[in-house]
Amino acid sequence: GQQLNQSPQSMFIQEGEDVSMNCTSSSIFNTWLWYKQDPGEGPVLLIALYKAGELTSNGRLTAQFGITRKDSFLNISASIPSDVGIYFCAGLNYGGSQGNLIFGKGTKLSVKP
Amino acid sequence: NAGVTQTPKFRVLKTGQSMTLLCAQDMNHEYMYWYRQDPGMGLRLIHYSVGEGTTAKGEVPDGYNVSRLKKQNFLLGLESAAPSQTSVYFCASTRRQGHGYTFGSGTRLTVV
């Protein structure tokens, strides 16, 4: 079936640093979504992308829908402690997976000791 | 507006016991989903529903059953719990395919 490769699996941040993560797929997607999950909570939608090449911002977060439609990245600028959590990408191909979202395995953001 | 509500939040079962997890949404969403989340595995789709009275299998349906008798509720049943079903279960809903899902806060299930 369709799979998303999300990287990195984990990363450590220091307050003020910029963060970058991405998702790639061997399949074309029509929609890319980015979610954040805080400990003990469900994922919350951060950014939705519906068009190839689209670049969308939500505060300090910026995400792009790759031109090839097979990838997407999420950048966080000037990170703060509350950015800690797990970030998931999700993609949708209307013609596959019965129209359901496919999720990456997540990027875990932690604070450097 | 509560969004997606899952009950219970925590549960410990003995192997072989049965239980039902309840998901309720008040957003009049057509589509509802049950996922399980395990370390390093991300979110895996168990079953889903595209409307009242419909259900379909996802990626990991074995050992689970579901029902969608009312549009706002989606029930996940475990007939005979196994330790492999120890996980965090999330319910989600959406108005239309291709749009972002709204997730509940999860049910942490331990089977001993």
The distance from CA B4 to its chain's CA centroid, rounded to whole angstroms, is 11
Residues B38-85: pLDDT tens digits? 988 889 999 999 999 999 999 999 999 999 999 999 999 999 999 999
Mean per-residue pLDDT of chain B: 94
Mean pLDDT for the stretch of residues B33-41: 91
Alpha-helix runs per DSSP H in A15-110: none
**B104 pLDDT above the threshold of 90:** yes
Q: What is the DSSP string of chain A?
A: ---EEEE-SEEEE-TT--EEEEEEESS--SEEEEEEE-TTS--EEEEEE-STT-EEEETTEEEEE-TTSSEEEEEE-S--GGG-EEEEEEEE-TTSGGG--EE---EEEEE--
pLDDT at A90: 94
A40 to B59: CB separation less than 8 angstroms, yes or no: no
B97 to A103: CB separation less than 8 angstroms, yes or no: no
What is the C-alpha to C-alpha distance for residues B69 and B52, in angstroms, rounded to an integer? 6
Q: Indicate the pLDDT class of residue A1, thresholds 50, 70 and 90.
A: low
Sequence-separated (6 or more) residues with CB below 8 Å from residue B83: B15, B111, B112
Cis ω before A8 (30° cut-off from 0):
yes
| Nearest CB partner across the interface for A42, out of B56, B100, B106 | B106
| Nearest CB partner across the interface for A103, out of B43, B48, B97 | B43
A99 to B98: CB separation less than 8 angstroms, yes or no: yes
What does residue B94 show for φ and ψ, rounded to 5 degrees? -155, 155
How many A×B Cβ pairs under 8 Å?
A: 50
Residue window 49-68, chain A: list those with CB within 8 Å of chain B.
Answer: 50
B31, B35, B101, best to mutate vs chain A, most A CBs in 10 Å: B101
What is the C-alpha to C-alpha distance for residues A32 and A53, in angstroms, rounded to an integer? 11
What is the C-alpha to C-alpha distance for residues A77 and B49, in angstroms, rounded to an integer? 38
CA distances from residue B85 to B41, B73, B91 in whole angstroms, order as listed: 14, 22, 16
A103, A107, A108, best to mutate vs chain B, most B CBs in 10 Å: A103
Taking phi over 0 as left and psi of -120 to 50 as alpha, with beta for the rest, A100 belongs to: beta
Would you say the C-alpha torsion B81, B39, A81, A102 has a positive or negative sign?
Answer: negative
Contact list in B for residue A88 (CB cut-off 8 A) is: 42-43
A29, A86, A98, best to mutate vs chain B, most B CBs in 10 Å: A98
A42 to B4: CB separation less than 8 angstroms, yes or no: yes
Beta strand A10-13 pairing with A107-111: parallel
Q: For the sheet with A19-25, list strands across it.
A: A4-7, A19-25, A71-76, A61-65, A55-58
A30 to B41: CB separation less than 8 angstroms, yes or no: no
A28: contact with B, CB 8 A cutoff: no
What is the C-alpha to C-alpha distance for residues B38 and B28, in angstroms, rounded to an integer? 29
Residues A45-100: pLDDT tens digits? 999 999 999 999 999 999 999 999 999 999 999 999 999 999 999 998 766 556 68
